[in-house]
């Protein structure tokens, strides 16, 4: 249901087919002000071709545009303003929602294509940071949005599970570790050991050598080292899994950095064959001065491979095994240089598909304007944050709706949804200020606000005992107040498409805020349940709003409770 296209087709004919339809379609706008109609076509670019003023062209076209889809046509200063036929368009739209339900606004332009999404990717034995939270939330939404557009998303958790820090950790564990404590509270204990290692190493530098030699053992496959490493990894992952479960996020692969241990030699050989490796400070690097970037480090003097080497191996592995059409990396903007280098090195190797790799960066999470990594010297544990948010949501529910059944379930959906929505409502490049109070408000642009709107609409439908098959509609002229909400249903699919193309879930979040606001305004103005001829149609509109709000929230990874 694309009325821009319909208008473009009419204009195409009226302009003697001189301008391609697609070009006309691009020119058509949605007026900011509803008084200027639903669609606007600026005639300025036609002036040269027609040798007439834009205003005269607009006047002439106005007289000729005839279609039952367009109820009124006006000319204002070189623009043709078009008013859609409210009755006809609403009927079509609402009927479509009733017929398609959750599949409403499904798109197919991505059909058959695979998109790998490198997301979350926390580091073993370290706390799950706010940056990892952002990556998880944005990556998960992008998976859902790209899937809605017909793509097959493949979510990869590129765990930070290898590197010299594991040598240090093994050393520290062997000196001071306690298996029971690690089992109980893995990340906290392992982090404490890691910190202790650094404190002690300042007094006794020999510890550093021990750490290095344990890492060598690990790289050489020493059984004791490997067993400890595997155990640290398993325990950390168990803890991360609790967070993923709370947030309802799953992965298709947990192939982390260690997975590429046996796949890097090939990369080094390929680089050598292609004569791309040069020596610099006893290390092997790829020179990127032509690309105006610093050299990309491939191998250190002691033979150890690096983050970039692993990512080169991972990129190749993903291309060969998943045949991606796009490969996204949802990682904070601090790593922009790394991904630029990665893509340039692959291009130098002759891989055209490197063009299809996209770094999807995002801003920082701030607390009182500062980077949010510590709180009173302690690390902010994400699980604590989520649980705190759930507890606050529960408190709000106790106050507002003490008789609600399943309070805990609802509190979880609201508490977690609030954190996710807060993250996704702004353009991802913006830094965001972390505030639980703000996130959990029922008014303003929050997750609970949208969820609450959904629940309110559901309650109207319950009261009316509405069944979604109540067709056909019969609208009368009093459909003016409904129009804003009804016409917004038209914008859902375009918002999804743009979110997919720009890798920006905030476009979906903003859309559902607009819809929720329009609906609440309508709800305040109109007695929806009043018996009269439009009752069925009004209920069908309310139903359509529930379908779209629920689906919009789902695309962000947020659940919508029917009561709250
Ligand atoms: N583990 C890394 C970090 O915490 C993020 C990894 C991102 N993904 C990648 N393929 N490099 O900074």
Express each pLDDT in 152-165 by its tens digit.
999 999 999 998 89
CA pair distance 45, 478, nearest whole angstrom? 38
- The CA distances from residue 138 to 107, 322, 416, 494, 542, in Å, are 20, 21, 14, 19, 29
Taking CA atoms only, the protein residue closest to ligand 1 atom 11 is: 311
- The CA distances from residue 169 to 187, 316, 456, in Å, are 12, 30, 52
- At residue 377 the predicted structure's pLDDT band, cuts being 50, 70 and 90, is very low
Kindly give the distance from the C-alpha atom of residue 201 to the centroid of ligand 1, in angstroms, as a whole number. 27
Q: Which of 132, 148, 142 is nearest to 505 (CA)?
A: 142
Asked if pLDDT for residue 378 goes beyond 60, the answer is no
CA pair distance 212, 207, nearest whole angstrom? 9
CA pair distance 502, 81, nearest whole angstrom? 29
Kindly give the distance from the C-alpha atom of residue 486 to the centroid of ligand 1, in angstroms, as a whole number. 43
User: Taking CB atoms and a 6 Å cutoff, what residues make up the pocket around ligand 1?
Assistant: 118, 121, 123, 158, 160, 311, 314, 329, 331
CA pair distance 465, 282, nearest whole angstrom? 76
- For the chain, give the percent of residues with pLDDT over 90: 82
* Contact assessment for residue 540 and residue 98, using Cβ atoms and an 8 Å cutoff: yes
- Between strands 326-330 and 357-360, the pairing is parallel
Kindly give the distance from the C-alpha atom of residue 305 to the centroid of ligand 1, in angstroms, as a whole number. 15
Q: Given the structure tokens 């004919």, which residue do they identify?
A: 13
Residue 345: HSE in the Cβ half-sphere, 13 Å Cα cutoff: 31
Q: Given the structure tokens 């629920």, which residue do they identify?
A: 550
Express each pLDDT in 95-109 by its tens digit.
999 999 999 999 999
What is the overall mean pLDDT for the chain? 93
CA pair distance 232, 17, nearest whole angstrom? 68
Taking CA atoms only, the protein residue closest to ligand 1 atom 3 is: 122
The ligand 1 atom nearest the CA atom of 160: 1
- Between strands 326-330 and 114-118, the pairing is parallel
Asked if pLDDT for residue 374 goes beyond 50, the answer is no
Kindly give the distance from the C-alpha atom of residue 332 to the centroid of ligand 1, in angstroms, as a whole number. 9
Residue-range domains of the chain with CATH:
3-84 (3.30.1360.70), 163-248 (no CATH), 381-555 (1.10.730.10)
Q: Given the structure tokens 């920006």, which residue do they identify?
A: 504
Express each pLDDT in 495-548 by its tens digit.
999 999 999 999 999 999 999 999 999 999 999 998 877 888 899 999 999 999
- At residue 376 the predicted structure's pLDDT band, cuts being 50, 70 and 90, is very low
Give the ipTM of the model, two decimals please: 0.99
Q: Given the structure tokens 């997919």, which residue do they identify?
A: 500
The ligand 1 atom nearest the CA atom of 307: 11
pLDDT confidence of residue 365: 86
Kindly give the distance from the C-alpha atom of residue 140 to the centroid of ligand 1, in angstroms, as a whole number. 16
Q: Tell me the average pLDDT across 74-103.
A: 93
CA pair distance 322, 201, nearest whole angstrom? 44
- At residue 373 the predicted structure's pLDDT band, cuts being 50, 70 and 90, is low
The residue among 87 and 149 whose pLDDT is bigger is 149
Taking CA atoms only, the protein residue closest to ligand 1 atom 9 is: 158
* Contact assessment for residue 96 and residue 4, using Cβ atoms and an 8 Å cutoff: no
Asked if pLDDT for residue 366 goes beyond 90, the answer is no
Q: Given the structure tokens 């055209």, which residue do they identify?
A: 352
CA pair distance 288, 153, nearest whole angstrom? 32
pLDDT confidence of residue 490: 94
pLDDT confidence of residue 468: 87
- Between strands 326-330 and 39-42, the pairing is unpaired
pLDDT confidence of residue 74: 96
The ligand 1 atom nearest the CA atom of 311: 10
Kindly give the distance from the C-alpha atom of residue 121 to the centroid of ligand 1, in angstroms, as a whole number. 5
The ligand 1 atom nearest the CA atom of 123: 1
Number of H helices, E strands in the chain: 22, 15
DSSP annotation string for 414-438: HHHHHHHHHHHSS-TTS-EE--HHH
Residue 56 corresponds to which tokens in the numbers above?
Answer: 């005269």
* Contact assessment for residue 176 and residue 140, using Cβ atoms and an 8 Å cutoff: no
Express each pLDDT in 472-505 by its tens digit.
666 766 788 899 999 999 999 999 999 999 999 9
DSSP 73: E
Pocket-testing residue among 329, 331, 341, ligand 1, by greatest number of atoms within 8 A of Cβ: 331
DSSP annotation string for 444-494: SS-HHHHHHHHHHHHHHHHHHT--TT-------STTHHHHHHHHHGGGHHH
Q: In what order do the strands lie in the sheet with 326-330?
A: 152-156, 114-118, 326-330, 357-360
- At residue 470 the predicted structure's pLDDT band, cuts being 50, 70 and 90, is low
Express each pLDDT in 171-217 by its tens digit.
999 999 999 999 988 888 999 999 999 999 999 999 999 999 999 99
The ligand 1 atom nearest the CA atom of 131: 4
Kindly give the distance from the C-alpha atom of residue 122 to the centroid of ligand 1, in angstroms, as a whole number. 7
Q: To 5 degrees, how large is the angle CA 492–CA 497–CA 502?
A: 125
Kindly give the distance from the C-alpha atom of residue 99 to the centroid of ligand 1, in angstroms, as a whole number. 43
* Contact assessment for residue 365 and residue 432, using Cβ atoms and an 8 Å cutoff: yes
Q: Tell me the average pLDDT across 74-91.
A: 93
């Amino acid at each position: 249901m694309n009325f821009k296209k319909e208008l473009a087709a009419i204009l195409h004919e009226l302009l003697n087919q001189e301008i391609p339809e697609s070009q006309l379609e691009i020119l058509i706008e949605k007026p900011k002000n509803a008084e200027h109609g639903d669609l606007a076509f600026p005639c300025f670019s036609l002036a040269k071709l027609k040798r007439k003023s834009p205003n005269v062209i607009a006047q002439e076209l106005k007289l000729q545009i005839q279609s039952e889809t367009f109820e009124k046509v006006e000319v204002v200063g070189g623009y043709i303003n078009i008013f859609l036929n409210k009755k006809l368009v609403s009927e079509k739209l609402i009927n479509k929602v009733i017929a398609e339900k959750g599949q409403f606004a499904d798109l197919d332009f991505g059909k058959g294509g695979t998109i790998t999404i490198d997301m979350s990717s926390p580091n073993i034995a370290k706390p799950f940071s706010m940056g990892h939270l952002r990556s998880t939330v944005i990556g998960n939404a992008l998976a859902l949005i790209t899937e809605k557009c017909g793509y097959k998303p493949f979510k990869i958790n590129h765990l930070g599970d290898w590197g010299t820090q594991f040598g240090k950790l093994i050393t520290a564990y062997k000196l001071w570790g306690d298996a029971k404590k690690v089992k109980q509270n893995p990340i906290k204990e392992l982090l404490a050991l890691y910190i202790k290692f650094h404190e002690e190493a300042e007094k006794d530098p020999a510890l550093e050598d021990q750490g290095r030699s344990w890492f060598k053992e690990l790289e050489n496959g020493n059984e004791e080292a490997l067993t400890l490493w595997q155990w640290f990894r398993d325990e950390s992952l168990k803890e991360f899994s609790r967070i993923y479960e709370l947030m309802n996020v799953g992965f298709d692969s947990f192939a982390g950095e260690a997975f590429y241990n046996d796949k890097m030699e090939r990369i080094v050989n390929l680089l050598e064959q292609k004569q791309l490796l040069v020596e610099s400070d006893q290390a092997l690097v790829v020179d990127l001065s032509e690309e105006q970037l610093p050299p990309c480090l491939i191998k250190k003097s002691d033979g150890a491979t690096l983050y970039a080497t692993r990512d080169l191996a991972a990129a190749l592995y993903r291309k060969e095994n998943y045949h991606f059409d796009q490969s996204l990396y949802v990682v904070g903007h601090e790593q922009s240089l790394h991904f630029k280098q990665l893509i340039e090195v692959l291009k130098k190797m002759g891989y055209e598909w490197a063009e299809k790799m996209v770094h999807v960066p995002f801003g920082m999470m701030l607390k009182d304007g500062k980077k949010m990594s510590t709180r009173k010297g302690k690390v902010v544990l994400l699980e604590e944050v989520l649980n705190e948010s759930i507890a606050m949501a529960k408190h709000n529910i106790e106050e507002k709706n003490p008789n609600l059944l399943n309070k805990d379930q609802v509190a979880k959906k609201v508490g977690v949804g609030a954190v996710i929505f807060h993250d996704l409502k702004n353009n991802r490049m913006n830094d965001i200020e972390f505030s639980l109070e703000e996130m959990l408000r029922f008014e303003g642009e929050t997750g609970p606000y949208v969820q609450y709107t959904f629940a309110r609409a559901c309650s109207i439908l319950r009261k009316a005992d509405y069944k979604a098959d109540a067709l056909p509609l019969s609208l009368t002229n009093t459909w003016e107040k409904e129009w804003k909400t009804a016409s917004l249903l038209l914008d859902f699919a375009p918002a999804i498409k743009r979110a997919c193309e720009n890798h920006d879930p905030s476009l979906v979040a903003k859309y559902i805020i607009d819809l929720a606001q329009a609906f609440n305004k309508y709800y305040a103005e109109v007695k929806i349940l009043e018996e009269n001829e439009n009752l069925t149609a009004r209920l069908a509109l309310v139903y359509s709003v529930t379908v779209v709000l629920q689906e919009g929230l789902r695309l962000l990874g947020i659940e919508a409770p029917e009561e709250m």
